[in-house]
Amino acid sequence: MRDSKLLKIALLIGLVIGIQALTTVTGTQYYLTQLTMSAYYALLVIGLAVVMGYAGQISLGHAGFFAIGGYLSAALTTHNLVALQANPVIHGLGNLGMLVSGQDIYGEPLLVVAPWAACIIAVCMAAIIALAIGIPVLKLKGHYLAMATLGFSIIIYRIGLATEYFGEADGISEVPGFTLLPAIGSFGPISVSGDFGLRVENYYVAWGLLIIGLWLLLNLIDSRVGRALRAIHGSEEAAEAVGINTAGFKLKVFVLSAVYAAFAGVFLTHYNGGIGPSEASVMKSVRYVALVAVGGMANVWGTLVMGVGLSFLSLRGVFGTYDDAVFGAILIVVMLFAPNGILSMNVKALFAGRRTTDEHR
């Protein structure tokens, strides 16, 4: 088991390097931009797969967590704090080295929160919000859970759309790059930004992050926690009867997946150099659910493949104006014919006219 997992990860790493090499050889490096973005979306989706597939809890609110991460880091790293310098909180942050000062394009002094500090604040905020809404929300089941999480993401969308601090309908643009490692000798600084010269670096940062996230999740699933989650999915009452703290486990994976979503939001926002309210829209949340469903619910690898593949096609504009319709159709078709995901579809059984059994009760 352990060996096959390592092997698969090694294969994935090989594939990632191979694709990068291939784009260099064929001169199609422009594909890397979308592959980088797809990797961040996939990071969110594999986190959601654990909540939906293993714990069996639907969440239509993950675009909300993505937006919390993205918006907070964007707002903190772009809004000038010079006027607030006297404020003790700001002063304290400055003493902790969490602020960077510079000059804007007009030569005016600029004081903003450092990207790494903003990232920590944004991810912690997403975790706290996930904890706060998770406690009441996860007591609900079925339709109620779906509607409650949907409602949450609409509220986040509305806040983004109506708050001046978050740029209202325009969103926040000109978000600075996020320097992960300073320059060491001739080895240049590693920075997450939309700079074309940094395309290859960013590709590896995104995929590195995704693979680390994947590795952690795979270990989690094979651990005691993973077994407990599967028990909850099978039957919550039975899980409780054998002594599993169902509410605690559900909450923990919900918060974990929110943290994944927030990380994806932070990094993608720095990469794109901005974020708009559409990132928090209902359609985004639905899209993430579609990606988990098509990947096979309780299948992190399948979700990874489908998440990267479909996000890439969508970002390349393959679906044209039918983008949303394609995701809607995917949801319906997968749920009707292959509720366990396309990769696990039993083609023979389908053609033999046998009805697919429903294992997601």
Partner 1 sequence: MTQALFFQYLFAGISYGVIYAIVAIGFNIIYNTTGIINFAQGEFVMLGGMISISLLHYFPLPVAIALAVVITMLVGALIEIIFIRWLDSPSVLRMIIITIGLSILIREVALHIWGESIRSLPYFIGNELTTVSIGPVRISPQVFWVVGVCGIMVLGLSLFFKMTSVGREMRACSANRTAAILCGINTRNMVTLSFMLSAGIGALAGCVMSPITYTQYDCGTSLAIKGFTVAILGGLGNSMGAVAAGILLGIIEAYSVAFVPLAFQDAISITILLIILFVRPHGIFGSSAAARLKEF
Does residue number 320 form part of the binding site for partner 1 (CB under 8 A)? no
Residue 125, burial from CB neighbour count under 10 angstroms (0-12, 13-18, 19+)? middle
What letters, b where the CB count within 10 A reaches 16 and e where it falls short, cover 289-307? Answer: bbbbbbbbbbbbbbbbbbb
Q: Which amino acid is at 243?
A: G
Written as six digits, the tokens of 132 are 């706060």
Pick one of 36, 40, 56, 264: the residue that binds partner 1 (CB under 8 A): 56
Does residue number 237 form part of the binding site for partner 1 (CB under 8 A)? no
Does residue number 2 form part of the binding site for partner 1 (CB under 8 A)? no
CA dist., res. 146 & res. 140, Å (int): 9
Q: How many chain residues touch partner 1 (CB under 8 A)? A: 46
In the complex with partner 1, the residue whose CB is nearer, 108 or 358, is 358
DSSP-derived letter for residue 113 is E
Which has the closest alpha carbon to 37: 264, 305, 317? 264
Does residue number 349 form part of the binding site for partner 1 (CB under 8 A)? no
Pick one of 136, 185, 243, 353: the residue that binds partner 1 (CB under 8 A): 136
Does residue number 329 form part of the binding site for partner 1 (CB under 8 A)? yes
Instruction: Show the binding pattern over residues 160-179: x = contacts partner 1 (CB under 8 A), - = does not.
Output: -xx-----------------
Does residue number 353 form part of the binding site for partner 1 (CB under 8 A)? no
79 by DSSP, 3-state: which? coil
Does residue number 330 form part of the binding site for partner 1 (CB under 8 A)? yes
Contacts 24+ apart (CB under 8 A), 187-192: 192/267, 192/270, 192/271
Measured in whole angstroms, the distance separating CA 70 from the mean position of its chain's CA atoms is 10
Does residue number 354 form part of the binding site for partner 1 (CB under 8 A)? no
Binding site for partner 1 (CB under 8 A): 56, 58, 60, 136-137, 139-144, 146-148, 150-152, 154-155, 158-159, 161-162, 282-283, 286, 289-290, 293, 321-322, 324-325, 327-332, 335-336, 339, 355, 358, 360-361
